[in-house]
Chains A and B, each alone.
Chain A
Amino acid sequence: MNEQKDEKWLDELISRSIDTSEPRFDAEQWKQKYPGEFQALVARGARRSQVGRFGLLSIVMRSQIAQVAAAAIVIIAVGLFIPHLERGGHQQDPSQQWEKSPAEMVSAMSLRTAYNRGGMEALEEQCDRAARILGQGALSMADLFEDLNG
């Protein structure tokens, strides 16, 4: 026998020796056999239509790495924000004060903040600054009250 004939003969032998007829997939039978798995697949579609951004977030947060990363971000953000809060609560940035207009500097809220910060001395100082900006000389509290009372 030549090689081609041998190969054909071998092919036929293989085909005869093993059952190589085409298997047919019966989808309905499979669904009945594995209802849980099929429902898990289909339910994914139903869930997907319900979940929005928060659903996506909850899926992402299932990952342990994502949880650790989120915790780290929160800690860093708090760490950066606390000093800023402390600065804002107890002392104002002097440069910010100079940026205020004279009217703002003598408003009730500004004066109260200055009083809280340094008592009457700070109050006087703030009034002086407002006066300097307006081009007037030093302005005492007595002058201010006199002017207000007429």
Chain B
Amino acid sequence: MAQEPDSALVEAAAKGDGDSFTELCRRYYPAMVAIAHSMLGDRHLAEDVAQQAFASAAVKLPQLRQKAQFAGWLAAICRNEARDMMRRTRAVQSIDDHSATTESNEHVVCESVRAALNKLSASAREVIFLRFYDGMSYEQISAVLGISEQAINGRLRRAKKKLAEYLRRDGYDEVRL
């Protein structure tokens, strides 16, 4: 089943095949977590949102007319779920700090990067999270965002330039992208 193309899995899942659906979930879990993480700034909440998005998708799957657009459709559900979560928790203060235990220079630098990431537009932040999350191919990112791999590269480059600009303003003069 791991070798099956998405379209076959989506067709089977729409007909009620639970295994095909969970295989799709396994494939797109990192992407959905990355999208939710980029919006919420909290990894644990992001995982909850991604799972909630799969639950919504399980119910709404018959409404999906163009099966080839499953990944983009799922990403849209995930963004909506993340927005709902934002309204519920008001949790979008900053991107979570997984190194907060140490008050080192490293911690200060990471805090600056997270602050700079928060200043980026939602789409720029999303492409950075998608690109930097492990276990995701360009093909998957392309399917999720509905753009070509070349366009992903362009968007990523612009996002990183903007990020470098914010860091320079924050005193990191050495970053010249």
Contact = CB atoms under 8 A, between A and B. Distances in A.
Interface of A: 1, 3, 6-7, 9-11, 13-25, 27, 30-31, 33-34, 37-38, 40-48
- The main secondary structure of chain B at its interface with chain A is helix
B25 A33 contact: no
Contacts of B113: 13-14, 16-18
Contacts of A47: 16
Contact of B176 (A6, A33, A48): A6
Interface stretch (B83-91, B131-139, B141-149): B131-139
B58 A37 contact: yes
B170 to A, nearest CB: 12
A3 B161 CA distance: 11
B25 A25 contact: yes
A20 B133 contact: yes
Interface of B: 13-18, 21-22, 25-26, 29-30, 33-34, 37, 43, 47, 50-51, 54-56, 58-59, 61-62, 95-96, 98-99, 106, 109-111, 113-114, 117, 128-129, 132-135, 160, 163-164, 167, 174-177
Nearest to A34: B55
A19 B51 CA distance: 18
A31 B54 CA distance: 10
Nearest to A2: B176
Given A7-B160, A38-B18, A18 B33 contact: no
A18 B176 contact: no
